[in-house]
Amino acid sequence: DAGITQSPRHKVTETGTPVTLRCHQTENHRYMYWYRQDPGHGLRLIHYSYGVKDTDKGEVSDGYSVSRSKTEDFLLTLESATSSQTSVYFCAISESRDPWGYTFGSGTRLTVV
């Protein structure tokens, strides 16, 4: 998607290893979000950020941490990956807190073996 890039696109990692996913935006939007999508659960919010160094937990934050040291980058870290964290991870950005106009990235497919 224009203005938002996720990396890597695909990753396979072993249980117990740390993993960091990156979301990069060129839109200078204040708000950034990390979601995971699993069959039967739809999209679930992991963490979100409302500015540099300002982050908060979403509904499924256990086992995840985030950092935002620059406006354009929002990092999601799995400190010690588990098989239950196998999922597709989406980053999103928005200009405002309103639930419209979100732009989502193309996703990162993470497999923990």
Partner 1 sequence: DAKTTQPPSMDCAEGRAANLPCNHSTISGNEYVYWYRQIHSQGPQYIIHGLKNNETNEMASLIITEDRKSSTLILPHATLRDTAVYYCIVRVGPSYGKLTFGQGTILTVHP
Binding residues for partner 1, rule: CB under 8 A, are 1, 31, 33, 35, 42-43, 45, 48, 50, 56, 58-59, 90-92, 94, 96-107
Question: Nearer to partner 1 by C-beta: 49 or 85?
Answer: 49
Of the pair 3, 18, the CB lying nearest partner 1 is at 3
- Please check whether residue 34 is in contact with residue 43, taking contact to mean a CB–CB distance below 8 angstroms: no
Nearest approach in angstroms of CB 49 to partner 1 is 9
25-56 b/e (C-beta count within 10 Å ≥ 16 → b): beeebbbbbbbbeeeeeeeebbbbbeeeeebe
Q: At its nearest, how many Å lie between partner 1 and the CB of residue 29?
A: 12
Q: How far is the CB of 77 from partner 1 (least distance, A)?
A: 18
- In angstroms, the first-to-last Cα distance of the chain is 29
